[in-house]
Amino acid sequence: MAKELYDAIAKLLTEQRNPASMNMDMMSTEEILRLINAQDKLVALAVEREIPYITRAVEYIVTSFKNGGRLIYFGAGTSGRLGVVDASECPPTFGTDAGQVVGLIAGGDKAMFRSQEGAEDDPALARTDVDTQNISPLDTVCGIAASRRTPYVVAVVARARELGAKTVYITTNPRSEFDLDVDVAICPEVGPEVLMGSTRMKSGTAQKLVLNMLTTTAMVKLGKVYENMMVDLQLTNAKLVERSRRIVMMAAAVDYDIASHVLSEAGGHVKSAIVMIKTGSTLEEAQRRITAAGGFVRLAIGELKSGG
């Protein structure tokens, strides 16, 4: 069994030696940095080739959200941590409920700060974690594993499919080698790491780029963005309060004092403040407009007609 696992891992593209870095241990500091940077430049191109598959994944996620479902990330190690980070950023950035985008890592919360590597090999733990989340056909479950083979993530996705959820899998090994039963696989092929097998590097960067694309695009499609500004952010600290004022100022072409006053009247709700100023409406009327527009500010202020 150990030899079979060795052979499986040895064949992975992400476990190969990178010809460009064979003499890394003899390079100067600047040469090492330039080498890493040159390899990192390849990552965005690898992600670009996966956009058709990322598009499908976003469509599943948006459908889940519109029907009251969730996006739930599962991963182990670096992959799991990236999912938790992306999920944790959604409430302050987009005003989502804490349970709408969920990130889970093999080994639980303690694995965020200290490696619990053995947890990634436990399919039984994976099934328990899935069942604890009460996953349903309304949800989209996204497994994240650079190698594709991580037992915890493989078992998560299999169990999620049994429960009827849509399934997405993000791996940085080639699509030609992907053999799992999922609704959509996202496979940015980043090639061997500068440091052999250290998938926290190019693989982790690719995964982070994909996660950014999934949630940001889904939130745009839900009306949480006006032009290119986040208008459902939560005012949970001084920086976000000032950012909210600046967004209102730019969106409605008003000065700081007016933006502050109307934002206060709107209870800190940026969308409402923008609609109030641009349409001359009361808070109640602005909220009615926003609801009727499905959350889209452009529709609420009449810049676009519904369906236009």
pLDDT at 52 over 50: yes
pLDDT at 1 over 60: no
Q: Give the mean pLDDT of the chain.
A: 93
* Residues 167, 160 contacting (CB under 8 angstroms): yes
Q: What is the pLDDT of residue 8?
A: 66
Q: Which tokens is 202 given?
A: 């190019």
Is 265 catalytic? The answer is: no
| Distance from C-alpha of 15 to C-alpha of 175, rounded to nearest angstrom | 16
pLDDT at 171 over 70: yes
Predicted TM-score (pTM) of this structure: 0.91
Domain residue limits, the chain? 13-221, 225-300
The string of pLDDT tens digits covering residues 106-162 is 988 888 888 766 788 789 999 999 999 999 999 999 999 999 989 999 999 999 999
pLDDT at 3 over 90: no
Is 120 catalytic? The answer is: yes
CATH number of 225-300: 1.10.8.1080
Q: What is the pLDDT of residue 134?
A: 96
CATH homologous superfamily of 13-221 equals Glucose-6-phosphate isomerase like protein; domain 1 (3.40.50.10490)
Given the residues 50, 120, 189, 193, select the one marked as catalytic: 120
Task: Report the share of the chain in percent with pLDDT over 90.
Answer: 84
Given the residues 89, 177, 265, 285, select the one marked as catalytic: 89
